[in-house]
Amino acid sequence: MSVPDTDLLGQPLTELEQEVARVHASLEALARRDDLPPCVAAGARHALAATWQVMNDLDLPCGQPEDV
């Protein structure tokens, strides 16, 4: 997943929003790996769901966590 430049309303992201989007993208990449031990995979999915909530609340574009 790439980090967006704008929110869903087309406004440029703040520095904080960019950092949240980078963390979310990093967790998504981790959760997509197929070589993770079960505890790491579950933790990554749990963290991804939490960052999805933040992305959603900030109106930042992101996929659905269940798609990972």
Q: What was the pLDDT predicted at 7?
A: 87
Q: What is the pLDDT along the chain (68 residues), one digit of tens a residue?
A: 678 889 888 999 999 999 999 999 999 999 999 999 999 999 999 999 999 999 999 888 887 766 66
Cα–chain-centroid distance for residue 13? 15
Please list the alpha-helical segments (H only) found in the chain. Answer: 15-32, 38-57
- The per-residue pLDDT for 31 is 93
Q: Indicate the SS3 state at residue 52.
A: helix
Amino acid at 37: P
What pLDDT does residue 68 have?
A: 66
Q: Domain ranges in the chain?
A: 30-62
Q: What is the pTM of this model?
A: 0.84
Which residue type sits at 55? M
Per-residue pLDDT at 4: 85
